[in-house]
Amino acid sequence: MVFELFKPFRQLFKPLNKFLERFEKLPEPSRKLAEWFRKLAQAARKVLPKRRGGRPGPDGMVAGTGEVANLVAMPDIVLTTLNAKFIHAAFGLRYLFANLGDLQPRAVIAEFDINQRPLDIAEKLIALNPKILGVGVYIWNVAETTEVIAIIKRVRPEIKIILGGPEVSYETEGQPIVELADHIITGESDLKFAEVCRGLLSTVPLTLTLSRGEREQRDTTPAKSGRNLNPAASGLAGDGNTILPLPPGEGRGEGLPKIIAAELPDFSRLALPYDFYTDADIAHRIVYVEASRGCPFTCEFCLSSLDIPVRQVPLDKFLAAMQRLLDRGLKQFKFVDRTFNLHIATSKAILEFFLGRHQPGMFFHFELVPDRLPDELRAVIAKFPPGSLQFEVGIQTLNPEVGQNISRRQNYERLADNFNFLRNETAVHIHADLIIGLPGETLESFAAGFDKLIALRPQEIQVGILKRLRGTPISRHDATWQMVYSANPAYEILQNKLLDFATMQRLRRFAKYWDLVGNSGNFVAVTPLIWSIVAQASRLCESEPEQKHTGGTPMPQPSPFHSFLCFSDWLYAKLGRTDTIALARLMELLFEFLTQEQKLDAKLVAETFWQDWQRTGRRDAPNFLKEFLPEENWSAIRDRDRSLPKRQSRHQVA
């Protein structure tokens, strides 16, 4: 009854959002009015009862799956995880839900994020009163998830907890979270999770499929209550797995092994998860999709290297699902495929599919192999409008010897040619990756690689710190290169044979500040001033290797890496931190560095800052710039393209 009472109000939300989208294309006063209406609508949602079908509430919970499933008052199965941010929609949970089959009406999804208190999360999960709690565990949430599970097991020990995810798929022995849980499914559990749930919920004889490793584990497990657990009397499936009958009562989990290995699922058997994104997900969160799984490469730092078989989603099935998302209004697609451009025909078909349906504001993120961009792909890529494509390109190192150390194959000549094509002949936004701390990488070789990558002009360079992910073979270098990692997630390198702890800390700060300055899009024109010839001539940074210069010879080209490292050291000396730095404060400090430390002309620097300020669509010049700018420019503004993600739109050429 109460839902009917509020129905007229809820009917207002959808047209209101469309109305506000039109307002955002109008001048600033109208946009302010639109924002006021949006906040009013958000406030109204908080006081209205949750709708059947489970749209996300302010606490991040999703009951059921939006328009597809009804609210389950007391679900038997709760699928949950702690996302890094609320904006991230849990892709894995939706895959598990999609493949529950007849158990789907007895299940709900409950999403949280790592910024919420574990005690509050545990309270909400316990209130759902599930029999089974399926939890996705990742490197970014394992600490908080361990706290949540510990609380639940103390308060409601009878709840069966099943863990899955990459953090608990390898090196399970000794992990506190593994000790707390009832069962761990290692590997891709899309189908195995439902199978285990049926065994736990059933009170009648069932069968359980055991892999060879699980069969051997049961062979060596003593029988309980005189029951013969040896599967020798059971049937063998055609794939070598054992079909083991479970006696009555075993459905409560008495006979299931703690560690359950999931076989790699065949995509032809999988139900796709895309219908289980809610309308709210589509409107306000990052929606993940995949056309393939696995990676053919063997880079030793990466978990994907363990999934060597690359499996493709049937193309017709995938494109039909993408069409349904488009029909529901989704405009931003983030592909999680590790090697999207591995199968050229499939990649071309997917790109052509989206190109033929492109509308303003659409944005597509793909992860590409950097040295594989044949002409047939280039032709399609070049047709996409500016800002609509982002390619994440994993370089990791430009040192061939380091690449050999970590078993990474890369054609550097083709890589450079592909970058030049993307920057000169397309409007693609390039997000390139480099890793600090790889075995064999010195400070100077990393600097050389960074400088080479700067010359290739990607819009963003993500400088990452090497992590020792569970299960990856990077650990084979520990003794040779004296690799020392943090014992806590995210298991980042602390020092090695070539980079001591103090140097690694400098590089860690370099990476943080580079993201704020070089990647953010707030300083597109200003950043190159840090390594300009003029700045180099006026003051040689202490971190810059000595370069001899005699009269009559050209000034050596300064190193972008060492110049920025100089700024990084200076900035840290000023602030003593790498986070919670307001943009206006960062701008003022960068202006001070360029004009007072690097001795650049203040008026030139101010005009360059003003170009960037206008590019971002902000109003009113900062006070510290006003004395260098004509007064009529103080409130001038060029609006950015608000149909694109903020970071990418700021990188668009003014």
Helix (H, G, I), strand (E, B) or coil at 501: helix
Between 627 and 531, the higher pLDDT residue: 531
d(CA 286, CA 283): 9
Mean pLDDT for 207-216 is 54
Question: What does the block give as tokens for 491?
Answer: 């298991």
d(CA 481, CA 476): 9
DSSP string, 383-409: TSPTTSEEEEEEEE-S-HHHHHHTT--
Determine if the peptide bond prior to 490 is cis (ω within 30°): yes
Per-residue model confidence (pLDDT) at position 390? 97
d(CA 538, CA 224): 81
d(CA 157, CA 459): 51
d(CA 216, CA 210): 9
Find out whether 139 and 166 touch, Cβ atoms under 8 Å.
yes
Nearest alpha carbon to residue 239 among 279, 259, 211: 211
Per-residue model confidence (pLDDT) at position 55? 40
Per-residue model confidence (pLDDT) at position 35? 57
Q: Which amino acid is at 280?
A: A
Over the stretch 270-283, which tens digit does the pLDDT of each residue have?
Answer: 999 999 999 999 99
Find out whether 281 and 333 touch, Cβ atoms under 8 Å.
no
DSSP string, 243-271: EEEEPTTGGGTTTS-SEEEPPPPPGGGPP
The segment with the largest mean pLDDT, out of 29-33, 213-217, 580-584, is 580-584
Question: Position of tokens 């584990």?
Answer: 217
d(CA 401, CA 593): 36
The interaxial angle of helices 315-327 and 344-356, nearest 10 deg, is 20
By percentage, how much of the chain surpasses pLDDT 70? 74
pLDDT band at 171 (very low <50, low <70, confident <90, very high): very high
Q: Return the minimum-mean-pLDDT range out of 84-93, 244-253, 386-395.
A: 244-253
Find out whether 292 and 312 touch, Cβ atoms under 8 Å.
yes
Q: Cα dist. 570→565, 592, 594 in Å?
A: 9, 11, 11
Residue 172 DSSP symbol: -
Mean pLDDT for 332-346 is 95
Residue 340 DSSP symbol: T
Q: Compute the chain's Rg from CA coordinates.
A: 27
Q: Is the pLDDT of residue 553 over 80?
A: no
Read off the pTM. Answer: 0.80
327 burial level (CB within 10 Å; 0-12, 13-18, 19+): exposed
Per-residue model confidence (pLDDT) at position 282? 97
d(CA 211, CA 263): 8
Q: In what order do the strands lie in the sheet with 107-113?
A: 107-113, 77-83, 132-136, 160-164, 183-186, 259-261
Mean pLDDT for 486-504 is 97
Query: Where does 173-303 show beta strands of DSSP type E?
Result: 183-186, 206-210, 235-236, 242-246, 259-261, 287-289, 292-293
Query: Where does 472-595 show beta strands of DSSP type E?
Result: 484-485, 493-495
Q: Cα dist. 122→81, 136, 146, 152, 376 in Å?
A: 11, 15, 11, 6, 52
Beta bridge partners of 463: 434
Q: Return the minimum-mean-pLDDT range out of 126-135, 383-392, 556-565.
A: 556-565
Q: Return the minimum-mean-pLDDT range out of 155-169, 230-244, 460-474, 513-527.
A: 230-244
Question: What does the block give as tokens for 5?
Answer: 């009472």
Mean pLDDT value across the chain = 83
Beta bridge partners of 110: 80
Nearest alpha carbon to residue 586 among 604, 602, 598, 568: 568
Q: Return the minimum-mean-pLDDT range out of 30-39, 248-257, 292-301.
A: 30-39
Per-residue model confidence (pLDDT) at position 73? 64
Per-residue model confidence (pLDDT) at position 618? 73
In this structure, how many other beta carbons lie within 10 angstroms of the beta carbon of residue 336?
15
Per-residue model confidence (pLDDT) at position 498? 98
Q: In what order do the strands lie in the sheet with 235-236?
A: 206-210, 242-246, 235-236
Per-residue model confidence (pLDDT) at position 237? 42
Q: Is the pLDDT of residue 349 over 60?
A: yes
Q: Which amino acid is at 180?
A: L
Q: Is the pLDDT of residue 160 over 70?
A: yes
pLDDT band at 642 (very low <50, low <70, confident <90, very high): low
Q: Is the pLDDT of residue 26 over 50?
A: no
pLDDT band at 41 (very low <50, low <70, confident <90, very high): low
C-alpha count within 13 angstroms, C-beta hemisphere, residue 598: 28
Mean pLDDT for 606-627 is 84
Over the stretch 352-363, which tens digit does the pLDDT of each residue have?
Answer: 999 999 999 999
Angle at alpha carbon of residue 572, lines to 523 and 536, rounded to 5°: 60
Residue 45 CB partners (closer than 8 Å, separation 6+): 13, 57, 58
d(CA 124, CA 38): 28
CA torsion sign, 232 to 234 to 238 to 241?
negative
Question: Position of tokens 């209004």?
Answer: 329
pLDDT band at 6 (very low <50, low <70, confident <90, very high): very low
H helix runs in 24-130, sequence order: 28-47, 91-98, 118-127
pLDDT band at 588 (very low <50, low <70, confident <90, very high): very high
Find out whether 76 and 132 touch, Cβ atoms under 8 Å.
yes
Between 214 and 180, the higher pLDDT residue: 180
Between 126 and 534, the higher pLDDT residue: 126
DSSP string, 533-560: HHHHHH---TTSPP----TTSPPPPPPH
Q: Is the pLDDT of residue 499 over 70?
A: yes
d(CA 64, CA 52): 8
Over the stretch 400-440, which tens digit does the pLDDT of each residue have?
Answer: 999 999 999 899 999 999 999 999 999 999 999 999 999 99
pLDDT band at 215 (very low <50, low <70, confident <90, very high): low
